[in-house]
Structure 1
Amino acid sequence: MEDELMARAEIKRLALIGLCVGALSMGACNNAVSGGAIGAGVGALGGMAIGSLSGDMGKGAVIGAVSGGVAGAVIGDQNRRRDQRNRDY
């Protein structure tokens, strides 16, 4: 039981480090890419939290990362298009 708790804590720590590194490296990316990456990171953390309640943290993280990445990319692209329209007028 204690080993499982240690493993979960390590996974959460590594996910948080990965999210921070990913967020810092997104400064040079366009809106769709950075939105997708940020959405995937936030979705993975949320999925891990929800998945840990149901007993399958890994599956929750994957589902959260995929859905968050897609949603973030779509929102980022919409923001880019809106900004482009505003610049053109």
Structure 2
Amino acid sequence: MKRFLSFTLILTAASVIGCTSMTSEQQGTVSGAAIGAAAGAGIAAIAGGSGWTGAAVGAVAGGVVGNIRGRQQQK
């Protein structure tokens, strides 16, 4: 599980750093998905569930919320 969380944190950092040439909507989607994946994996690990499932659900939820927020900032 530690390896999975390390991978998730590295992926989160890389996606946030790589967002410099994207629109606000794209940045929000990628950042939201990465943060959601990390949060979902963490919550699933604490709750005793599957880290991969938690990361997938968190990524989808975070991506949707990030996309909406980015679209609002772009206006």
Asked whether the two chains share a fold, i.e. TM above 0.5, the reply is yes
- Deviating 4+ runs (over 3 angstroms): none
> Residue in 2 aligned with 1:65?
59
After superposition, residues 1-89 of structure 1 pair within 5 angstroms as 8-55=1-48, 56-81=50-75
Which stretches in structure 2 are left out of the alignment for 5+ residues? none
- How many angstroms does 1:53 deviate by? 1.9
Give, as a single letter, the amino acid of the residue that structure 2 aligns with 1:43. G
Give the distance between the partners of 2:42 and 2:8, measured in 1 at CA.
12
Higher relative CO (Cα under 8 Å, sequence separation at least 6) belongs to 2
The TM-score, its normalising length taken from structure 1, stands at: 0.79
The TM-score, its normalising length taken from structure 2, stands at: 0.93
Cα RMSD, aligned residues only? 0.8
- How many angstroms does 1:57 deviate by? 1.2
Q: What is the aligned residue count?
A: 74
Which of the pair is proportionally richer in helix? 1
